[in-house]
Chains A and B, each alone.
Chain A
């Protein structure tokens, strides 16, 4: 029993070092899974680490650590999202107001997303269906291959490719539309007397 515990501790120490190297990418993925809610993403990541510490999530080496970790984050985020929806249904809107006050990391992110292109890009991403958003994020943000993305999402590579292509197409369309609209308004603002 004591030897087992020592082995577990050693494994956890090794895993901790690996997780530390992946922490930034994990947070980015958690952000994507939580619709860019930083407080929720942090909570999800904490829950994932808790699952690993308690042995509820166990890495068996069947996939790469990164894809395994991302799959755990994805599942946890989906579970948390469901719980939040139920909570919102149960409680009044007052709790929502307090929640927005509590999240301390909201401010810098919000400031960043005010930069025009990023704001457009983020709103375009939010408009996409979840699977398409996930596929794009895993490929472009995390530099994963489509097969790895499919593994994280728990779908076949064919489906992943379909989500990726559709997502890319929709994102391009959305960005094109909004940019042209923004360009017109921008020119209007720039030279109001011309109109």
Chain B
């Protein structure tokens, strides 16, 4: 019974076949795992305290003692990057969790209810989409104080529009399917319809957009921190190490190179994973 209510079955051999034909997705998944493990294990791996100031070792180039050099206060950049990974990833996950919750709820409501509700929700989505997201985030931060929590919330609150559209579109196309009509005619309540039959079948695209969303949120967080409006020093973040890199561009190339590389690799990992999942869930795009 359960298998029949799903258009897409998680355990089918087709899926493993598809994964095998997606080597880039594996690369992405590997990157995602490694970065996550490094972030979690940061307190044990990091060779130095990320906030420990050491006036004797200011702006030291990379060496065996300091793999990625030291910054203007003599702090070890490698250790700061490990802790920065913790911060970036938690911002990414919480922000995406929030935007998914809002997006799925609104999209499901619009797609299921249809009619005037649908129109109202979709027009509001269009309105929010008119704002350059980065402006919106910055404007809100201007009114609040920049802190990790505010950044998570603000990024979450300004990135739900894509998911809303996507879930609504999925629901609209599912609505006319036989098994949905059957469940409906058997008297399933709206919430049960959405939760049991509609959402599970829209799970693929939702997962894809969540994975890609993490990449986007990490980029936005690093951009905000780079501008000095995100994670505040002395807390380390890939973005705020880069700010120091900009200020010392003539003196310390390592401050600019390594944190950016970390952002690039992380974002690339999530993007590859997300795009790979998209092809797995929607094979007709690939062929």
Q: Do A and B come together as binding partners? A: no
Binding site for B on A (CB under 8 A): none
